Structure 1
Amino acid sequence: MLYVDAPIANLLDGTRGQPKLLVVDDQPINIQVMYQIFSADFQVFMATSGAQALALCKDNPPDLVLLDIVMPGMDGFEVCTRLKADETTRDIPVIFVTAYTDAIQETRGLSVGAVDFISKPVNPAVVRARVKTHITLKLQSDVMRRLVFLDGLTGVYNRRYFDQQFAMEMARSVRNQSPLSLIMLDVDYFKRFNDYYGHQAGDDCLRQIATTLKEGLRRPADLVARYGGEEFACILPETEFHDAMALAIELEQRIREKNIPHANSDAAAVVTISLGVSGRTGDTPGDASALLAQADVQLYIAKNAGRARVCGELMLSA
């Protein structure tokens, strides 16, 4: 259990760095005050309008938003309403920081999804304590959600999480006109492995493969999931096709170098994998099902060509 009085760094998994805090206010002096309060313990991001805040939350979701109410164009109530209506941002806690002090405004803020309401001028100790409380709750909630999306056998993400994240990364890739690559891979002759060595050895083999794949990914945003049975998938955001091919070749070699004996394989004397790679550029049509189907086709080609190899193809522009 993680407690509010634990250091902020202890609430993280060691790979994320400091928690991310987004301060939204149209007055730079107010943003400056918040930066001075939180910069030692948080990555502090700033937005001076509602539209800018929404864009930042979609592209680089913070762990918490400190949101002013009175802003030109789009007020804080509307920003919070939109955040809570979007599946990709609804779990980000929002604290209103405003000069309003009446109960009607506070009630409205809580009704649109905010978790707290702080009055200006802020007391640094109070705002720091409240933010830390809600950050703690958010990170604990993130841990629980991740457990739902983990494969029980291998410890990597499951198919459900893959489907969710792949759709999200495709949408981000299209929105930002950035590359996105996908690797589908299969353990060669795995049924023969299970029949010869037994299912317990088969389970251990899958665990070793999952761990090796996870350790082989290069970027924090890269993701490996157990797609089903002995099949795995890797989502590679912001990754050009040629870099994805290089990574796939490296992963194939890493698995081979585990030297897991496989006496009944026609590909090698050790366990090997076949990999299919697909990728899109910034101007390629944003069709998630097409990118997935292309990776599947390339995996099929790799298996038909003798297994223990990588095949890939870049999606062509429209």
Structure 2
Amino acid sequence: MPQPNEWGKLPHAKPRLLVVDDQPINIRLIHELFSQEFDVFMATSGQQALEKCKSLMPDLVLLDIVMPGMDGYQVCAALKADPALSDIPVIFITGNSNEEDEVKGLELGAVDFIHKPINPVITRARVNTQLKLKRQSDLLRQVALIDGLTGLANRRRYEQELLTAWLQCARDNQPISVVICDIDNFKLYNDTYGHVAGDACLREVAQCMANSVQRPYDLVARYGGEEFIAVLPRTWNEGAQQVATNFFAMLQLSALKHEKNVTGLVTVSAGVATVVPLPNSSPEKLIAIADEALYVAKKSGRNRFHCIAMDSSHVSE
């Protein structure tokens, strides 16, 4: 079960290397070179490369420049234009040694060039260098985007992930759901047990919510003081309700004492909202509707969740 400080992301055992080349012999050479250390995937066209990047999220792409149809430059430009894929480092593989070609590639966002015929020692060294740099960059980003108390994603990370998920769902005509929760009578909890216990309570609630999601692309974040949010791409309202149900069940099992609460235990109220985003729309309306659902849950007696499934036309208002 993932821990909160992974904020919904499950690690893979080996780095993922995507090799893009229309010549199978070149793919075979690179596969033989790296198959023991990496999970090596292949694509034989530019369009297939983009599809593989979306589904696999590789740690590094080795990209041939000269290919029929969409060439390597076009693939690199498309990757860097997509917020969800722009951080994937690209190393161009080319049979040319023209400086103008290298300048063009670097301007598009490539991190390095490997020249054909492939030298195994040089190729291995350059690939390992870029993977090391990416690991360091990922670690720094994670530290900057994690809530220090709970280990969940912080508000900044949540805003980035929500926008990326929103744009992807709009592009693919898929639903997106959010679950916003608030700890019931949390001020009374702090007043009764003190802020040290209050911090421990926040961490336990965060753990329960993080454990209520299962997919690597779901995100759980600390939304505010005692508020948390789950962003669930490609999830209909029924699936979001199941996440909320799982969360409530886990919190009930934790049995955190709260003598000033009606049940005698720590409880939460939650709002659930779902929509299929329209192109060129923004997620603010979805969050507003989830907040409205949370308000209804609180006004209805707390310790419950309320759901609203929106019509797509509402997000364009």
TM-score by length of 2: 0.87
Question: Is residue 301 of structure 2 the alignment partner of residue 316 of structure 1?
Answer: no
Structure 1 CA distance for aligned equivalents of residues 41 and 70 of structure 2: 19
Q: CA deviation at 1:60?
A: 4.2
1:100 aligns with: 96
The match for 2:215 among 215, 219, 225 is: 219
Q: 1:278 is matched with which residue?
A: 273
Q: Does 1:296 align with 2:287?
A: no
Correspondence 1:152-301 to 2 at 5 A: 152-266=148-262, 268-281=263-276, 287-301=282-296
- Tell me the residue number matched to 2:5: none
Alignment deviations for residues 157-216 of structure 1 (CA, whole Å, 9 cap, x no partner): 011111110111111112222332211000000011111211121111111111221122
- Cα shift at 1:112: 3.2
> What are the equivalent positions in structure 2 for 1:1-150 lying under 5 Å apart?
15-58=11-54, 60-150=56-146
Structure 2 counterpart SS, 1:30: helix
CA contact (8 A) 1:252 1:274 kept: no
By how many angstroms is 1:104 displaced? Answer: 4.0
Secondary structure, counterpart of 1:228 in structure 2? coil
Note the C-alpha offset of 1:111: 3.8
SS of residue in 2 equivalent to 1:257: helix
> How well do the aligned residues superpose, as a CA RMSD in angstroms?
2.4
Q: Which has the higher contact order (CA 8 A, sep 6+)?
A: 2
8 A Cα contact 2:10 2:216, kept in partner: no
Looking at structure 2, the residues matched to 108 and 283 of structure 1 have their Cα atoms a distance apart, in angstroms, of 35
Give 3-state SS (helix, strand or coil) of 1:216's partner: coil
Count, aligned residues: 305
The answer to whether the 8 Å contact 1:223/1:235 transfers is yes
Counterpart Cα distance in 2 of 1:78 and 1:154:
41
Cα offset, 1:149, TM superposition: 0.7
1:305 aligns with 2:306: no
Describe the shift of the 1:150–1:125 C-alpha distance in structure 2 as closer, same or farther (beyond 3 A).
same
Instruction: Tell me, in whole angstroms, the C-alpha distance in 2 between the residues paired with 1:285 and 1:292.
Output: 17
Q: Percent identity?
A: 47
Q: How far apart are 1:99 and its partner, in Å?
A: 0.8
Give the C-alpha shift of residue 14 in structure 1.
6.8
1:151 corresponds to which residue?
Answer: 147
Give the letter aligned to residue 302 of structure 1.
A
The answer to whether the Cα contact below 8 Å between 1:276 and 1:296 also exists between their aligned partners in 2 is: yes
Note if contact 1:277-1:299 (Cα within 8 Å) is conserved in structure 2.
Answer: yes
Name the CA distance, whole Å, in 2 between partners of 1:16 and 1:179: 26
